[in-house]
C-alpha cells in the first residue's frame, strides 16, 4: 500500500508523512519513505510518499491507494496517481471534481480537518495532525500507534501541546472511521512480535559509517542534498567528540578537512556537484600531498546551480578525473542504505591504506529516502579499522632512521 501526503511547504507535509511512516515502522511493518520538495523555504508543492508492506521494500511503486491533500494543488497534481478504489482525504474547504473522481473510481473522504484542529486543539496548524488521525481511522490502524508518535514528537513542547494534538487526532480518527472505514478495502495493522527496526536514509547511514570508522572532523558548506550528513554528525558531536565546522565556502571546507587529515585525524567533507567543482584545486592538493581525506558528492541535477532538490547521477566522469595532473583516487558508489553505511566506513580505511582521497558518490533519492532495516543489517561487530602502514615511532623520535612519510611502498 502507498500513502501520499501533498501540500504546500510549511503545511507539515514532511513532518506528517515522516510521522505516519514512523508509526507504521514502530508497529512492525516495513516502510519506504520518499520526501519530495521544492528549493524554497515556503511555497511550492511538496509531497511525502509512504510505501508500507509486511515484506521488506526498497523503493516506491506506481499508484497511490490514499492521498492526503492539504491544498487544491495536491488534488490536481496527484489525482491521476490514485488507483481505482483508492481515496482522497481533504478538508471541506478543498473542493474536488466529483465527476472526475467517479470516472476514476476514487472515493471522496471529505472531513472538517481545519474545524477539528481549531475547535478541539485551538489552532488550525494542527490540521496535519487531524489528517494523520483520519488516515489511521480509515485504514483501521490502532490509534495508539498515532498517539505514540504524537507523544514522541511533541514531548519537548510540554504536556499541553501533547494533549491538544492527541485530542485532535482522536476526534479525526473516530469521525473518519465512522464515515469511511467500512467502504475502504486497504487496511493497516501492526504485526505482533515484529522486531524493533531502524528507519534510516542514505545520508544518515554514510554519517553513521563514518562515525564508526573513527571520523572525528567534518567541515562543510551546506549544500542540498549533502547537508544532512553534517547535520547528523553535528547532532552526535558532543557524545562522540566530533569537531564539526560550517565554513564560508566549499573550497575552505575541503582545505580544512585536508588540514585535519594531515594532522592525523580521520576527516571528511560533504557537498554536491556544484560544491565539488569548487573543491577541485584542493583535491589536487590532497593528491599531491598524499593526504587521506574523504569527500561525499551527493549528486543533483545540473549543470551549474542545477536542480537542488531533484535527483541525477551525472558526476561519475567528473569524480574520476577532477583536478589537473594524475594521481590516484578511489570512488565508491553505494546503491542501498546498507551500502551507504559500508561506504562511509570503508572510505576511511581505503584513504589511509592507500594515502589518497576517497570520493563517495550518492544522489538525492538515496540520500533522503528512508527505509526500515533490521538492527543486524548494519554489522558493527565485523568492522575493523585499518590505518595502513604507519611511520615507526623511532622515525619521529629522532633516532636516526629518517622521516619516511612519503616513502614509496
- pLDDT tier, 231 (very low <50, low <70, confident <90, very high otherwise): very high
Q: Are the C-beta atoms of 242 and 216 separated by less than 8 Å? A: yes
* Residue 16 and residue 66 in contact, taking contact as beta carbons nearer than 8 Å: no
Give the pLDDT mean for 353-376.
96
CATH 3.40.920.10 holds for 2-194:
yes
- Structural domain boundaries in the chain: 2-194, 200-395
Q: What pLDDT, on the 0 to 100 scale, is given for residue 398?
A: 66
> In this predicted model, what pLDDT tens digit does every residue of 43-100 receive, in sequence order?
789 999 999 999 999 999 999 999 999 999 999 999 999 999 999 999 999 999 999 9
256-299 per-position pLDDT tens digit: 999 999 999 999 999 999 999 999 999 999 999 999 999 999 99
Kindly give, in sequence order, each residue whose CB lies less than 8 Å from that of residue 12, ignoring residues fewer than 6 positions away.
Answer: 70, 125, 127, 128
The CATH architecture annotation of domain 200-395 reads 3-Layer(aba) Sandwich (3.40)
Q: Give the pLDDT score at 47.
A: 95
For the stretch 164-214, pLDDT in tens is 999 999 999 999 999 999 989 999 999 989 999 999 999 999 999 999 999
Separation of alpha carbons 385 and 375, rounded Å: 21
- pLDDT-derived band at 400, boundaries 50, 70, 90: low
| Strand ordering across the sheet containing 358-363 | 243-246, 217-220, 267-271, 294-299, 358-363, 330-332
Mean pLDDT of 6-22: 91
What is the model's pTM?
0.93
CA distance 176 to 134: 5
Return the ∠ at Cα 351 (arms to 347 and 352), rounded to 5°: 125
Q: Is the per-residue pLDDT at 234 higher than 80?
A: yes
Position 184 scores a pLDDT of 95
How far is it, in rounded angstroms, from Cα 178 to Cα 141? Answer: 14
For residue 409, pLDDT beyond 90: no
Amino acid at each position: 500500500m502507498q500513502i501520499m501526503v501533498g501540500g504546500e511547504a510549511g503545511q507539515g507535509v514532511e513532518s506528517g508523512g515522516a510521522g505516519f511512516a514512523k508509526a507504521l515502522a514502530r508497529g512492525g511493518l516495513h516502510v519506504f519513505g520518499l520526501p519530495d520538495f521544492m528549493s524554497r523555504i515556503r511555497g511550492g508543492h511538496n509531497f511525502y510518499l509512504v510505501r508500507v508492506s509486511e515484506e521488506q521494500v526498497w523503493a516506491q511503486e506506481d499508484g497511490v491507494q490514499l492521498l492526503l491533500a492539504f491544498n487544491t494543488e495536491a488534488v490536481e497534481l496527484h489525482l491521476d496517481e490514485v488507483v481505482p478504489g483508492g481515496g482522497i482525504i481533504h478538508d471541506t474547504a478543498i473542493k474536488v471534481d466529483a465527476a472526475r473522481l467517479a470516472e476514476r473510481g476514487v472515493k471522496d473522504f471529505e472531513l472538517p480537518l481545519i474545524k477539528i484542529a481549531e475547535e478541539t486543539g485551538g489552532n488550525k496548524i494542527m490540521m496535519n495532525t487531524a489528517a494523520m488521525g483520519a488516515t489511521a481511522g480509515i485504514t483501521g490502524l490502532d490509534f495508539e500507534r498515532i498517539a505514540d508518535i504524537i507523544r514522541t514528537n511533541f514531548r519537548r513542547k510540554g504536556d499541553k501541546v501533547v494533549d491538544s494534538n492527541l485530542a485532535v487526532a482522536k476526534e479525526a480518527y473516530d469521525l473518519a472511521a465512522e464515515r469511511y472505514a467500512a467502504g475502504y478495502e486497504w487496511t493497516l495493522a501492526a504485526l505482533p512480535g515484529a522486531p524493533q527496526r531502524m528507519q534510516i536514509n542514505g545520508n544518515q547511514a554514510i554519517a553513521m559509517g563514518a562515525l564508526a570508522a573513527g571520523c572525528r572532523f567534518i567541515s562543510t558548506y551546506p549544500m542540498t542534498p549533502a547537508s544532512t550528513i553534517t547535520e547528523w554528525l553535528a547532532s552526535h558531536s558532543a557524545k562522540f567528540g566530533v569537531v564539526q565546522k560550517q565554513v564560508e565556502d566549499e573550497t575552505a571546507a575541503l582545505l580544512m578537512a585536508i588540514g585535519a587529515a594531515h594532522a592525523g585525524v580521520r576527516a571528511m567533507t560533504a557537498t554536491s556537484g556544484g560544491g565539488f567543482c569548487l573543491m577541485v584545486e584542493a583535491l589536487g592538493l590532497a593528491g599531491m600531498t598524499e593526504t587521506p581525506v574523504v569527500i561525499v558528492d551527493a549528486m543533483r541535477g545540473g549543470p551549474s546551480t542545477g536542480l537542488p532538490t531533484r535527483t541525477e547521477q551525472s558526476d561519475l566522469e567528473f569524480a574520476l578525473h577532477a583536478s589537473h595532473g594524475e594521481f590516484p583516487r578511489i570512488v565508491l558508489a553505494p546503491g542501498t542504505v546498507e551500502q551507504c553505511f559500508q561506504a562511509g566506513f570503508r572510505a576511511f580505511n581505503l584513504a589511509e591504506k592507500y594515502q589518497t582521497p576517497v570520493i563517495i558518490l550518492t544522489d538525492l533519492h538515496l540520500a533522503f529516502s528512508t527505509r526500515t532495516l533490521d538492527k543486524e543489517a548494519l554489522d558493527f561487530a565485523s568492522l575493523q579499522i585499518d590505518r595502513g602502514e604507519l611511520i615507526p615511532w623511532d622515525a619521529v623520535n629522532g633516532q636516526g632512521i629518517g622521516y619516511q612519510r612519503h616513502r614509496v611502498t
